[in-house]
Structure 1
């Protein structure tokens, strides 16, 4: 039986990627899931990640590299290339994206996390799409948590984000659960905006497995996403593991500074059971085998660890956003992770928590999270693409009638 023709033919993705790997990993997971189910689909991913080329990607996924920036504070960014000013980078990125949108004319444009893009770089792109591809449906994908509600409200009000959500976006997808974190209420979205919102559940490349874990090895795995600010977490993991006499593997990440990586390498050399890895594009196999995983509180890492049922200790980032700390506390209250906050005596506290988590048998019969996000995102984009094609056909029909008369 032939597969029914899909409405999804051209999808444009935007991933601003100003810090870490989270946005890139989530967009790649969405792209790979969509491409697997839609044989005629083409996807273009515009990303500011400086390490996007280190990931293997499907043949029908094209990566458009944007000049990379790094977040240095709340809504504050700098070019990774010191020769470029932030304004020059923003204008260059915007020009690349306008040209891409004009040429590609997508059915759906899915924006990740930042409604206006980095420093409002998407606003000219929206104008291009409305003038050259008016049938394109513009969709926003939001994480479960952005930051402390009061800070988000103040930033969004100051930047005019509420107006953008109202006037530009056709639909808003939340990669989370309203029962755990009600984005619409906490971020003060009026009915005109919240009515466009769909809670999709959590986006994870792995499905929840309720069967007992197999092939578990007696080692602690320390991970910190891209690694840009992960040295404190990984250093504490090495100390705590050594004190417990446990084998330890830490992954520094591709964005860790050479100074921090060298310091961790020297530290690991004093621990006969420790080893250092720089980067693994897919650490899920190691996650599933580790007796305990110590991680920061990034969205993708936690979703995958929950799906893999790996005993997890979370040490979240608390600056410049508290997003990770909020998520980690929610997950800890559900009983699916253990939580240690960064700060004084972290290694000592972590040692006690590692010992407790390693000795605790996890027997979760039903998943505590809805991990069906990818399927629900696919359904939502399929619906938007169908609307786009109806609008496009109506436009073409109208133009043909006008020419005939």
Structure 2
């Protein structure tokens, strides 16, 4: 089976991590799978299995700004020509590779409709649209997925829609106006991550942490534009200095270099606090930690529940409500603590970190997990 998965870029590692989980599960379950990644992502590709071949599209950055998305091509392309070039590259690859399954992550026509020519040519047997669960607010989601020509396009193009969330936590049909022509194509996989086989003691042993150490781990995913959040985390660590012995701050490979230097400066006098750009075994660190502070992206949520982390999740989006909605659903179930971005910037973490260390949560929800391994059965049912 030839599989190609497209993910655009993103401002974090979440789309790459999702693709890596699906690829790993498919390759583990069958020696006959060939998996190609089609992406503009330029960080975190080491998460992909060695057997995945990456067809690299030119990369861009877009910044989450209240005034709008600020686009920047790494090669200096004007925006229109940039996406035209990416679209042609994608079309040529798909035409020659002719995959059995084309998985398209999140954007039904790709970034700025760059996949439209390739999807129209349909040089693949079947196509699957993969969604993270909560999308945007109701009006924007309906406009971009479920109304008029967009819904017709999805119906013409995609044989299946997989949702990387458990239906008991979130159902598209209950939050958005999903038309009948699409509702029968939806399959809920559950969160992609597997329940972690590691024990807390085993994770600590691998990290070299003593059994009695009180450890805080924090990560903002890819990290782009997260400097203001890191300042709030640094302040909370200072306020709660006597409540922990060690802290590891994983800033993310997309964090701007000037901001990284500022984060290091803010915590340089805090004994036991270490700043790293990237941690290949972040779920292991989350498992061993007494408290985890993280962004509320879909992939991060999946990994928090996978390891049963005592977590504070921060919805960090400025212009979208997806992370706030998702984190709120989990908070209502007593699985995580949350603090909104404005609350965080106003100092809410100072008290919440102390609360999290004093009264830890321990979510145990294996029935909500394991979505990646379900892909083998889903795709087998599609293509035989």
Do both share a fold (TM > 0.5)? yes
Alignment of 1:320-331 (within 5 A): 320-331=319-330
Report the equivalent of 2:314: 315
Report the equivalent of 1:17: 9
Residue 67, structure 1, aligned to residue 66, structure 2: no
Distance 1:345 1:180 in 2: 25
Cα RMSD over matched residues?
Answer: 2.3
Report the equivalent of 1:176: 165
The range that moved more, 275-284 or 192-201, is 275-284
Report the equivalent of 1:281: 280
Contact 2:58 2:75 in 1 (8 A): no
SS at match of 1:260: helix
Report the equivalent of 1:242: 238
Report the equivalent of 1:353: 352
TM-score, normalisation: structure 1: 0.85
Offset at 1:377? 2.2
Choose the corresponding residue for 2:373, options 375, 382, 390. Answer: 375
Alpha carbons of structure 1 residues 301 and 369: separation in structure 2 relative to 1, 3 Å:
farther
Choose the corresponding residue for 2:71, options 78, 101, 104. Answer: 78
Residue 58, structure 1, aligned to residue 57, structure 2: no
Distance 2:201 2:311 in 1: 14
Report the equivalent of 1:152: 141
Contact 1:77 1:86 in 2 (8 A): no
Distance 2:146 2:172 in 1: 15
Choose the corresponding residue for 2:195, options 187, 207, 218. Answer: 207
The range that moved more, 158-167 or 181-190, is 158-167
Q: Which stretches in structure 1 are left out of the alignment for 5+ residues?
A: 1-8, 387-405
Alpha carbons of structure 1 residues 211 and 18: separation in structure 2 relative to 1, 3 Å:
closer
Alpha carbons of structure 1 residues 76 and 266: separation in structure 2 relative to 1, 3 Å:
closer
Report the equivalent of 2:28: 36
Post-superposition CA distance 1:83-127 (Å, at most 9, x none):
211111111111111111011111111111111110111111112
SS at match of 1:241: helix
Alpha carbons of structure 1 residues 325 and 126: separation in structure 2 relative to 1, 3 Å:
same
Report the equivalent of 2:113: 120
Contact 1:221 1:292 in 2 (8 A): yes
Report the equivalent of 2:383: 385
Post-superposition CA distance 1:297-340 (Å, at most 9, x none):
01111211111111100111131222111111111111111011
Post-superposition CA distance 1:138-187 (Å, at most 9, x none):
11111111111112113346893212111111111111133322213422
The range that moved more, 206-215 or 275-284, is 206-215
SS at match of 1:250: strand
Contact 1:239 1:347 in 2 (8 A): no
Contact 1:15 1:111 in 2 (8 A): yes
Offset at 1:358? 1.2
Contact 2:223 2:251 in 1 (8 A): yes
Report the equivalent of 2:289: 290
The range that moved more, 138-147 or 316-325, is 316-325
Largest Rg, 1 or 2? 1
Contact 1:240 1:347 in 2 (8 A): no
Distance 1:358 1:349 in 2: 15
Report the equivalent of 1:394: none
Distance 1:107 1:384 in 2: 10
Distance 1:108 1:34 in 2: 12
Contact 1:213 1:309 in 2 (8 A): no
Contact 1:10 1:41 in 2 (8 A): yes
Distance 2:367 2:63 in 1: 32
Report the equivalent of 1:225: 221
How many residue pairs match? The answer is 371
Report the equivalent of 1:393: none
Residue 138, structure 1, aligned to residue 134, structure 2: no
Contact 2:23 2:48 in 1 (8 A): no
